A and B are shown apart, each in its own frame.
Chain A
Amino acid sequence: MDELKNKEEVVEEVKDTEVPLDKNVRLMSPTRMVVRRFFRSKLSILGLIMCISLFVFSFLGPLFYTEWGEIELDESGKTEYSISETTYEVNGVEYTLRQTTEKSLKDNFLAPPSSEHILGTDNEGYDIFVRLMYGGRISLIVSFIAVFLITILGVLLGGIAGFFGGVIDNVIMRLCDILICLPGIPILLIISTILDASNIDAKYRIYLLMIYLTFISWPGTARLVRGQILSLREQEYMVAAEAMGYSTPRKIFKHLVPNVMPQLIVSMSLSLGSMILYEATLSYLNLGVKAPYAAWGTMINIISTNQDILQNHLNVWVPAGVCIVIAVLGFNFVGDGLRDALDPKARR
């Protein structure tokens, strides 16, 4: 019996060798491996779906949902009834006078969700659903710009510091130390006052604030890039690049920076989430996007002064908060998934 089995195996082996070896092995480029590992994790797929759907919602949404605009008031009017009771006592008999006052108001504010307004209207009479879309546009655009700028500045300065070392490295890193010690929101409060003083258009102030955020946030990226380059600089392929007589910018940006890319991509996707949070916080504090323009944070801002909306009109402020959570969570999931996918040590 045993012998028979062995014979069969031998036959199979012979069969195997007939097929050329490279046909047996599926070749995969590193990029494809990363992509495969990324999509194996359910969380990163979920994150990706969350991000993409938010993008579609805020950028394509307003093209299809055109009933209301961002700063278009619903002026269909609203009648408000208030009932007042007064009790009279005439000749020992109590009379109650119930008076209903009808008040006609120009704007249809705080309307409940209906077919006309999917999520109702806010305290001014703006359509909430459409403002969610425009708010998403601002949040996403602003955070993408900020992260993009942070990455460019960080790679540039971190790369230079790591490659040249010495005095240049010292100067750039001390600058990083200083910027990291600057308090974030309190300084934004000051800058916001300065912007108030110089009468900047409400539409543009959030961009200016985000530029400041870029200015204080690049040291994190710079440190990351510098640390990586310090270790990469000593590797053999850099000696080879030196021997080939490549120019310094080429060595830095074509040979060193691409090797830092994995960590950079992870930190970018994670900082996208934190930038969205920052933007929302600024708008919530009424420093960022100001009325009448919409931002997710601005839409929540109203409840800090209006207890009635906080308690009884959840449709005004909860959707905006949910959007922020979805955006930040989505980017965090993607970032986490990328980290695991790009790290060869975390393979399983």
Chain B
Amino acid sequence: MSLFILLGVSMIIYFLIRLMPVDFIQDKINAINQGGATVSEETVNAMYAMYGLGDNSFLGILEGYVSWLSALVRFDLGTSFVYGIPVADVIFEHMGVSFAVALIATIFEFMIAIPLGITAATHQYSFRDYIVTILVMIGISLPSFFFGQMLKDLLALKLGWFPASGLVNATASYTGVELLLDYVRHMFIPILTIVILSIGARMRMTRTNMLEVMNSDYIRTARAKGLSESVVINKHAFRNTLIPLVTSLAGLLPSLFSGAIITEQVFDLPGIGNIALDAMNRGDIPFIMGYNMFLALLSVIGVLLADLMYGIVDPRVKLE
């Protein structure tokens, strides 16, 4: 099933590159060459051969797709124009930064959003519920580029507490623990941005699920038994709220590798999203195609994991 989805996605992505006029690709290559880097003739020819470009008959397109797909199965995504090394290598090189930022942000997101969601649900329609709801709604509504730039302006440029961009302090050469601390200082604002923006959705999800569970019969039974409110909420209700949360976490795992394009661009982090954006602006077509396939693969794995996890967490659901 997931293979079928991947096949469909790959077809669409392949179709997109066929829409690009070949002389346009040539223009882009010339521009890159003028910019200092050299795209060797071999790289270009290899790409043309891989995508089967230049032959616009139906059979030619079909042939090109098959050859591209067979290369894809061997994890051969072609050679990046800008970097001159295989696309897969570029992706793996920059995946680490994106993953670190996304992982830490997700951990904080869950740690903050779940308790907020629970208090909002248990105090439904109270002042506390309204405040939490309004705050997280504002969080959802903020565009990441705007909020990121605001935080950067305030925390980094005006107050000078954190460095404004990049991943390491270029002037100092740190090692060991100091290097790690430097990483943390550089990643702080990006992570803060992501956490504040993404808390909302998670919190709303927790709140809705919690409300649903709180209205169910077994919660009334638990209260009738005379259990304390905290036991009812934390042991009986919360455990069932966990089902969708854990499922969504499983679905989220692969996407941690995909990189946050906008946030990375704002803070100039050398993550995979920023690299992809840069690649696109410079016309590094093999990289963009590879990156898109990589993202599609991740989201297919995410769907698969979420399904599997659902069966594990909730024994009532049986996998066919």
The 6 closest A-B pairs by CB, nearest first: A178-B8, A321-B146, A328-B141, A183-B295, A197-B24, A329-B141
Verify A177–B5 contact, CB threshold 8 A.
yes
Binds A, one of B35-43, B132-140, B173-181: B132-140
Binds B, one of A61-69, A118-126, A232-240, A276-284: A276-284
Binds B, one of A72-80, A160-168, A188-196: A188-196
Is A156 an interface position by the 8 A CB rule?
Answer: no
Is A333 an interface position by the 8 A CB rule?
Answer: yes
Q: List 5 A-B contacts (CB under 8 A).
A: A178-B8, A178-B12, A189-B288, A329-B141, A348-B125
Given A177-B5, A182-B12, A321-B150, A189-B277 contact (CB < 8 Å): yes
How far, in whole Å, are A321 and B152 apart by their CA atoms in the complex? 15
How far, in whole Å, are A324 and B146 apart by their CA atoms in the complex? 9
Contacts of A281 in B (CB 8 A): 143-145, 262
Q: Among A43, A178, A310, find the residue whose CB has the most chain B CB atoms closer than 10 A.
A: A178
Is B250 an interface position by the 8 A CB rule?
Answer: no
Contacts of B13 in A (CB 8 A): 187, 190
Is B318 an interface position by the 8 A CB rule?
Answer: no
Given A300-B146, A321-B143, A186-B153 contact (CB < 8 Å): no
Given A181-B299, A183-B299, A186-B291, A198-B277 contact (CB < 8 Å): no
Binary flags per residue of B149-162, CB closer than 8 Å to A gives 1, else 0: 11011000110000
How far, in whole Å, are A175 and B4 apart by their CA atoms in the complex? 10
A189 to chain B, nearest CB (A): 4
Question: Contact residues of A with B, CB < 8 Å?
Answer: 43, 174-175, 177-178, 180-183, 185-187, 189-194, 196-198, 273, 277, 280-281, 284-285, 297, 300, 303-304, 307, 310-311, 317-318, 320-321, 324-325, 328-329, 332-333, 336, 348
Contacts of A182 in B (CB 8 A): 9, 12, 296
How far, in whole Å, are A273 and B295 apart by their CA atoms in the complex? 25
Q: Among B8, B125, B147, B303, find the residue whose CB has the most chain A CB atoms closer than 10 A.
A: B8
How far, in whole Å, are A209 and B20 apart by their CA atoms in the complex? 16
Given A181-B5, A300-B145, A190-B292 contact (CB < 8 Å): yes
- Chain A residue at minimum C-beta to C-beta distance from B258: A183
Q: Among A180, A181, A325, find the residue whose CB has the most chain B CB atoms closer than 10 A.
A: A181
B189 to chain A, nearest CB (A): 14
Partner of A300, one of B140, B149, B258: B149
Verify B5–A178 contact, CB threshold 8 A.
yes
Contacts of A194 in B (CB 8 A): 16, 19-20
Given A177-B5, A303-B149, A325-B141, A189-B262 contact (CB < 8 Å): no
Contacts of A187 in B (CB 8 A): 13, 16, 292
Contacts of A189 in B (CB 8 A): 276-277, 280, 288
Is B266 an interface position by the 8 A CB rule?
Answer: yes
Given A190-B17, A281-B262, A317-B149, A332-B141 contact (CB < 8 Å): yes
How far, in whole Å, are A285 and B295 apart by their CA atoms in the complex? 19
Contacts of A196 in B (CB 8 A): 24
How far, in whole Å, are A175 and B5 apart by their CA atoms in the complex? 8
Is B47 an interface position by the 8 A CB rule?
Answer: no
How far, in whole Å, are A336 and B24 apart by their CA atoms in the complex? 46
Contacts of B5 in A (CB 8 A): 174, 177-178, 181
How far, in whole Å, are A242 and B125 apart by their CA atoms in the complex? 44
Contacts of B144 in A (CB 8 A): 281
B267 to chain A, nearest CB (A): 11
Verify A190–B16 contact, CB threshold 8 A.
yes
- Chain A residue at minimum C-beta to C-beta distance from B266: A304
Is B261 an interface position by the 8 A CB rule?
Answer: yes
How far, in whole Å, are A192 and B285 apart by their CA atoms in the complex? 13
Is B21 an interface position by the 8 A CB rule?
Answer: yes
Contacts of B4 in A (CB 8 A): 174
Extra inter-chain contacts (14) besides given A284-B262, A321-B143, A325-B142, CB under 8 Å = A43-B133, A189-B276, A189-B277, A189-B288, A193-B288, A280-B146, A284-B145, A285-B277, A304-B265, A311-B153, A329-B138, A332-B137, A332-B140, A332-B141
Given A284-B143, A321-B150, A311-B19 contact (CB < 8 Å): no
B143 to chain A, nearest CB (A): 5
How far, in whole Å, are A193 and B282 apart by their CA atoms in the complex? 10
- Chain B residue at minimum C-beta to C-beta distance from A318: B150
Verify B150–A181 contact, CB threshold 8 A.
no
